[in-house]
């Protein structure tokens, strides 16, 4: 169950595991909702995933996670090898606002990339946004982040506009968007 804005939502994909192929065999991940004790690890992951000026400060990330209408989904390795390190491999922060979803951040540790984890996180967020009656979703990414642009293109996001000097380091952002209506989602799966 997911508790958000005093409403209860049930999402079948949470607390489910999935396997991703890798050169070392199968890696199993579990998606679950954010817990407050995750914050330090999530902030650390964000700092590793993005350059200064694009990575969030502690305060910014905390605000986005707690923002009204937002939710955070965390991905953990199902069988973490070391008890001394966190099993969290990535996360996504998104929000729903008046029928439009917004992907605020999607972060996957370098060692867990190319395993399908980012796709699973994005799909989980899109499904939750649909359940919250969002008809579309938007996000921003730096114009020079070619790997992110390729990732979003594979997931049928289109460029809507350019936001000049969007990031604090002066880099422009591309605003990308996607329809979340069920007919289009069914076509993309098929």
Helices (H), the chain: 39-49, 58-66, 117-131, 146-154, 182-189
pLDDT of residue 101: 98
CATH class for the domain made up of 2-134: alpha beta
Closest by alpha carbon to 148, among 101, 96, 107, 92? 107
Q: How confident is the model at residue 86 (pLDDT cuts 50, 70, 90)?
A: confident
Residue 187: is it exposed, middle or buried by C-beta count within 10 angstroms (0-12/13-18/19+)? exposed
pLDDT score of 115:
87
Question: What pLDDT, on a 0 to 100 scale, did the predictor assign at position 28?
Answer: 83
What integer is the mean pLDDT of 63-69? 96
Instruction: Give pLDDT tens digits for 88-99.
Output: 999 999 999 999
Q: What is the mean pLDDT of the chain?
A: 84
CB of 72 closer than 8 Å to CB of 34: yes
pLDDT tens for 112-134 read 888 899 999 999 999 999 999 99
Give the residue extent of every domain in the chain: 2-134
pLDDT exceeding 90 applies to what percent of the chain? 66
């Amino acid at each position: 169950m997911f508790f958000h804005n005093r409403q209860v939502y049930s999402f079948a994909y949470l607390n489910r595991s999935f396997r991703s192929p890798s050169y070392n065999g199968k890696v199993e991940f579990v998606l679950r909702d954010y817990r407050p004790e995750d914050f330090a690890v999530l902030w650390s992951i964000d700092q590793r995933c993005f350059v200064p000026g694009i990575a969030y400060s502690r305060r910014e990330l905390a605000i986005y996670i707690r923002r009204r209408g937002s939710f955070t989904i965390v991905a953990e390795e199902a069988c973490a090898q070391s008890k001394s390190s966190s099993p969290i491999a990535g996360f996504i922060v998104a929000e729903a606002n008046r029928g439009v979803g917004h992907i605020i951040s999607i972060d996957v540790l370098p060692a867990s990339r190319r395993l399908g984890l980012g796709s699973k996180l994005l799909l989980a967020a899109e499904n939750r946004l649909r359940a919250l009656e969002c008809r579309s979703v938007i996000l921003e990414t730096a114009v020079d982040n070619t790997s992110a642009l390729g990732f979003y293109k594979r997931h049928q996001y289109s460029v809507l506009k350019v936001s000049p000097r969007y990031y604090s380091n002066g880099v422009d952002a591309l605003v990308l968007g996607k329809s979340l209506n069920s007919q289009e989602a069914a076509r993309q799966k098929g």
